[in-house]
Amino acid sequence: MAIVFFKRLGWFWLLVFIQVLVLNHVHLMGYAMPFLYVYLILVLNINVSRNILLLWGFFLGLAVDIFSNTPGMNAAATTFLAFMRPSILRLFTPRDCAEDMEPGIRSMGFWLFFRYVLVEVALHHTVLLTIESFSFFNLGFLFLEILSSVLLTTFCVMAIEGIRKK
């Protein structure tokens, strides 16, 4: 149990540091921003309790917030993602899956996992970027930002998943 916890904690800090030191500076074509850190929430085992999932989501978002001077913004969006995850994951789980399945290409197959990631990421980015847009409200710009960021993040998640499974 402790080993699993420390392994997750290792992933937690790795993803936070990749996010704040590298990916926060990426801004493709003025719209797309990758938020790879949600990967941690996406691949937590299916039998993790809802409360634990919420706490991981909150602290992950908070850590990214503290580094990028946006207190509460990523925390709110990631907590929401963690809250919605069990219901969404249920839609995409294969029927004969193991009780402690870890969502991924290996356990779900490429296309099923891809669709799962796309839905989750779209949910998270819509919340996150809508909260951010309170400062300047421009619907067209917001929509483009959400769409392009979702594509970029999904691409990053699939890439890191692909590397991990080799």
Partner 1 sequence: MRNLLEFFIKYNYWFLFILLEVISFGLLFRFNSYQGSVYFTSANWLVGTVYEISDGVTSYFHLKSVNEDLMERNIYLEQQVSALREAFIKTTRDTTWVDEIQRSVLKDFTILKADVINNSINRANNYITLNRGEKDGIRSEMGVINGNGVVGIVYLTASHHSIVIPVLNSKSSISCKVKNSDYFGYLKWDGEDSRYAYLMDLPRHSVCEKGDTIVTSGFTSIFPSGIMVGTVEDITDSHDGLSYLLKVKLSTDFGKLNDVRVIARKDMAEQKELEQKIRK
Residues interacting with partner 1, by CB under 8 A? 17, 21, 24-25, 27, 30, 33, 49-51, 54-55, 57-58, 61-62, 65-73, 75-76, 79-80, 83, 131-133, 135-136, 138, 141
Buried b (16+ CB within 10 A) or exposed e, 54-76: bebbbebbbbbbeeeeeeebbbb
To the nearest whole angstrom, how small is the minimum distance from the Cβ of residue 148 to partner 1?
Answer: 12
Nearer to partner 1, 32 or 117 (CB): 32
Rounded to 5 degrees, φ, ψ at 28 are -80, 130
To the nearest whole angstrom, how small is the minimum distance from the Cβ of residue 51 to partner 1?
Answer: 5
User: Are 32 and 146 contacting, i.e. CB atoms less than 8 angstroms apart?
Assistant: no
To the nearest whole angstrom, how small is the minimum distance from the Cβ of residue 135 to partner 1?
Answer: 4
User: Are 46 and 103 contacting, i.e. CB atoms less than 8 angstroms apart?
Assistant: yes
Nearer to partner 1, 57 or 103 (CB): 57
To the nearest whole angstrom, how small is the minimum distance from the Cβ of residue 63 to partner 1?
Answer: 9
Nearer to partner 1, 11 or 17 (CB): 17
Instruction: Give the separation between CA 16 and CA 165, rounded to whole angstroms.
Output: 21
Nearer to partner 1, 11 or 31 (CB): 31
Rounded to 5 degrees, φ, ψ at 45 are -55, 155
